[in-house]
Amino acid sequence: NAGVTQTPKFRVLKTGQSMTLLCAQDMNHEYMYWYRQDPGMGLRLIHYSVGEGTTAKGEVPDGYNVSRLKKQNFLLGLESAAPSQTSVYFCASRPNRRTGDNQPQHFGDGTRLSIL
Amino acid sequence: AQSVTQPDIHITVSEGASLELRCNYSYGATPYLFWYVQSPGQGLQLLLKYFSGDTLVQGIKGFEAEFKRSQSSFNLRKPSVHWSDAAEYFCAVGASGGSYIPTFGRGTSLIVHP
């Protein structure tokens, strides 16, 4: 009963390095989301996807790229990490709208990323 | 555009006391409302949701919330707080229109004194 799994859980990078965060869900959900959480800022949406092969920008997309090549996976990439990207990153998923607009999101446990 | 306001950044209560966390929303159509809880080092977990029907909604861990359309509010309550309730609480409004993107409040941090 995994739900939403994020890897890695922790990572420290140097400025300018690149990395990819992986989100995997086993609930056959159509929609997936990447958020960042910073103190006092709540959750801010980076990118989201409404289905395999589709992605869209959220509130704070700059400096990030995403891909949804498989329905169960949603990857978040940092091409050239900056200290301002130090944050906790959360992935979420939810069923498509045919199951109802009242469906909540399911969240992973987060990836804690530090950029030095 | 939809929005959610959680006016209290921090709330401190004593164990055993009652709790009310405030949430106000702005949305043009029928809102779908959620409360999530985030324990330290964890992701968000759904406490309860409202989309229609009875305006008093029961959730997990003894929480309830009341939808008041006239006040655009969806406040979370618990009659007796336990130390394990210390966490961050987020209110969210979901979309009933074309958007697939829920809007979250900035969260309220609950501190429980023994």
DSSP labels for B3-42? Answer: EEE---SEEEEETTS-EEE--EEE-SS--EEEEEEE-TTS
Of A41, A102, A108, the CB nearest to B51: A102
Q: What is the dihedral of CA A50, A55, A60, A63, to 10 degrees?
A: 150
Q: How confident is the model at residue B101 (pLDDT cuts 50, 70, 90)?
A: confident
Q: How confident is the model at residue B99 (pLDDT cuts 50, 70, 90)?
A: low
Q: Dig out the tokens for B51 from the structure.
A: 């989309």
pLDDT tens figures, B26-80: 887 778 899 999 998 899 999 999 988 888 999 999 999 999 999 999 999 999 9
Bridge partners for B108 per DSSP: B89
Q: B44 vs A48: CB contact, 8 Å cut-off?
A: no
> Which residue of chain B is at minimal alpha-carbon distance from A51?
B100
Sequence-distant (6+) residues with CB within 8 A of A101 are B32, B51, B94, B95, B96
> Which residue of chain A is at minimal alpha-carbon distance from B34?
A104
pLDDT at A61: 97
Q: What is the C-alpha end-to-end distance of chain B, expressed in Å?
A: 41
Q: How confident is the model at residue A45 (pLDDT cuts 50, 70, 90)?
A: very high
pLDDT tens figures, A49-89: 999 999 999 999 999 999 999 999 999 999 999 999 999 99
